[in-house]
Amino acid sequence: MALLCAAAAPLTAQAPRPTDYAEAMHAAHGRESPTATPAALIAPRSAVVGSDVMYGTVGGRVLHGYLAKPAGAAASNGRAIIVVHEWWGLNGNIKAVVDRYAGEGYTVLAVDLFGRVATTPDTAMVLYQTAMKDIPAGEQNLAAAIGYLKSQGATKIGSVGYCFGGHWSLRTGLVGGNDIKAVVMYYGAPITDRTQLARLKAPVLGLFAGLDKGIPVDSVRAMEQSLKANGRPVSINVYADANHAFANASGQAYDATAAEDAWKKSLVFFSTNLR
């Protein structure tokens, strides 16, 4: 599984400020580093081909991502997934996750919302804070990714993100509207405002941790209520005994049982909604 870390903040009056989330995640991961373990490098179920790509520009900056597809005669049949990185950025571990999804038969693009990779918690927090100061630029980045995948033949696109990326996976759904058919959030900060969520047309799968001090379960339930009030299908799964970043195979909170169950649920969700 991926290295999964810091979250973006819910944009509501009751929610903590984005800097509060950055500080909370820094405290949680202050002694960690993005060092892969065997559990973080699970091989794809079938062969894939991957390469670094340029998928657009925002504010004059070229956007570099990582694209993987099924190898050989296998085809994704227009099915594609956008992957949004955690607070370490688009590193090798995220690319391994992309390969793993591609091995399930999807064209998969990992976007880069930072423009660089962090190797220390201090740097990761700065990158996180910088990205959260310019939501419009981040949304333009995601729109470019959607357009790129459509130019590659994608007709059914989903998104998945981890922590920081979990929030931005939800924003991918907001940006994409009818172009996004499925949204998966791994312990990402919720958006609870119904006006913002009205942009969303896709069903949502949420995978959260009961012991997560940075993403309280009550805020997740508030998002769930807002989504249902807007008529959006939503399935929230809370792993009661797991901590934030339970799918981070290099982190102290890694929970193999929860991570594997969440992976299986993600595959079923994409298979159902991207067929």
Q: What is the 3-state secondary structure (H, E, C) of the chain?
A: CCCCCCCCCCCCCCCCCHHHHHHHHHHHHCCCCCCCCHHHHCCCCCCEEEEEEEEEEECCEEEEEEEEEECCCCCCCCEEEEEECCCCCCCHHHHHHHHHHHCCCCEEEEECCCCCCCCCHHHHHHHHHHHHCCHHHHHHHHHHHHHHHHHCCCCEEEEEEECHHHHHHHHHHHHHHHHEEEEEEECCCCCCCHHHHCCCCCCEEEEEECCCCCCCHHHHHHHHHHHHHCCCCEEEEEECCCCCCCCCCCCCCCCHHHHHHHHHHHHHHHHHHCC
Rounded Cα–Cα distance for residues 246 and 250 (Å): 10
Rounded Cα–Cα distance for residues 145 and 119 (Å): 25
Q: Are 142 and 131 in contact (CB under 8 A)?
A: no
Residue 11: what pLDDT? 41
Query: In Å, what is the CA distance from 263 to each residue of 100, 126, 206, 241?
Result: 10, 29, 12, 17
Beta-carbon contacts of residue 67 (< 8 Å; ≥ 6 apart): 50, 51, 52, 53, 55, 98, 107, 108, 109, 110, 152
Q: Which amino acid is at 150?
A: K
Residue 20: what pLDDT? 64
The pTM (predicted TM-score) of the whole model is 0.91
Topology of domain 18-273, CATH: Rossmann fold (3.40.50)
The angle at the Cα of 170, spanning 166 to 174, to the nearest 5 degrees, equals 160
Residue 41: what pLDDT? 74
Q: What is the pLDDT along the chain (275 residues), one digit of tens a residue?
A: 334 443 344 444 334 344 467 776 776 666 767 776 677 678 999 999 999 999 999 999 999 999 999 998 667 789 999 999 998 899 888 898 999 999 999 999 999 999 999 988 889 999 999 999 999 999 999 999 999 999 999 999 999 999 899 999 999 999 999 999 999 999 998 999 999 999 999 999 999 999 988 888 999 999 999 999 999 999 999 999 999 888 877 667 789 999 999 999 999 999 999 99
Residue 33: what pLDDT? 72
Residue 245: what pLDDT? 84
